[in-house]
Amino acid sequence: GAGVSQSPRYKVAKRGQDVALRCDPISGHVSLFWYQQALGQGPEFLTYFQNEAQLDKSGLPSDRFFAERPEGSVSTLKIQRTQKEDSAVYLCASSQGIANTEAFFGQGTRLTVV
Amino acid sequence: TQLLEQSPQFLSIQEGENLTVYCNSSSVFSSLQWYRQEPGEGPVLLVTVVTGGEVKKLKRLTFQFGDARKDSSLHITAAQTGDTGLYLCAVRNSGGSNYKLTFGKGTLLTVNP
C-alpha cells in the first residue's frame, strides 16, 4: 500500500484480556517504530526494529508488552493481561533508512480497556 | 519534567485570524521537527529546522528555530478550518539512539468557520 496501515483501527478489551495490534509498514522500509499516545499527550516511544531485529525496547512500559517483526516487514504489538492504564492510541511508523530519515506514521489503533 | 514544553495547550480561533504556537526547552538541539496530527490520524511531518535562527515557510505556515537552538515557533497566517489539528514539536535523541523521537504534548488548534 501507499502508506503505513494499522489494524484494527479500534479495539475494546476487557481488563485482563490479551490484544494484538498489527502494523503493515511501507514496502521496503528498513526501520519500524511503535509509539503510545495517551489522551492529551504527545506520542511516546515504545520500541524500534531494524529489519527483523528489535534494537531498542526501552520504552515498553512492562513485561506485558511484547513486539515482533519476524520477517522484517509486518509487525505485531501484543499486550497481555490488559489494564485500564493501557488505554491509548498505538501508533506505528516506518522509515526508509536507519536514522535521521523521515518517519511515516499510520493512523493508529485506539485501544480502550474497560 | 517535559523535555519540550508547548504552549498554549489549547487554542480556539476564528477563520482568518493569525496565531503563533511555541515549543521551548532548556536543552540545545541539533534539529527540531514540527508535525500536524488531524483527528483520527497519525502525525505528519511539516518541517525540520536545523540552523539557529532559521526561518522556513510552508504556504501560510512560518517556522522559526531560535538562535540558541533551544526553542521554536510556528506562525499561521489567515488560519483556515483545514488547519485544525494537534501541532507537535519533536526532537531526535542524540548519539546512538537518534532514531528515537521525543515529542512535546502538543497544541490543539481549533479553527472555527
Assess whether pLDDT exceeds 90 at residue B94.
no
Residue B73 is placed in which grid cell? 515557533
Please answer whether residues A20 and A14 qualify as being in contact, where contact means their C-beta atoms are separated by less than 8 angstroms.
Answer: no
Please answer whether residues B52 and B66 qualify as being in contact, where contact means their C-beta atoms are separated by less than 8 angstroms.
Answer: yes
Task: Read off the pLDDT band of B1 (50, 70, 90).
Answer: low
**Overall average pLDDT of the B74-100 stretch:** 94
The confidence score (pLDDT) of residue A48 equals 97
Looking at every residue in chain A, the average pLDDT score rounds to 96
CB contact set of A63 (below 8 Å; sequence gap of 6+):
none
- Among candidates B40, B43, B92 on the partner chain, residue whose Cβ is nearest the Cβ of A105: B43
The answer, for B42 touching chain A at a CB cutoff of 8 Å, is: yes
Assess whether pLDDT exceeds 60 at residue A26.
yes
User: In chain B, which residue's Cα lies nearest the Cα of A102?
Assistant: B45
Cβ <8 Å between A98 and B99: yes
Assess whether pLDDT exceeds 60 at residue A109.
yes
State how far the Cα of A23 lies from the Cα of A63, in Å rounded to an integer.
20
Assess whether pLDDT exceeds 90 at residue B42.
yes
Please answer whether residues B98 and B92 qualify as being in contact, where contact means their C-beta atoms are separated by less than 8 angstroms.
Answer: yes
Q: List chain B residues with CB under 8 Å of A44.
A: 103
| Residue-wise pLDDT tens digits, A55-93 | 999 999 999 999 999 999 999 999 999 999 999 999 999
The confidence score (pLDDT) of residue A25 equals 98
Chain A window 39-98: which residues touch B at a Cβ cutoff of 8 Å?
40-45, 48, 56, 91, 93, 95, 98
State how far the Cα of B82 lies from the Cα of B91, in Å rounded to an integer.
25
Cβ <8 Å between A45 and B105: no
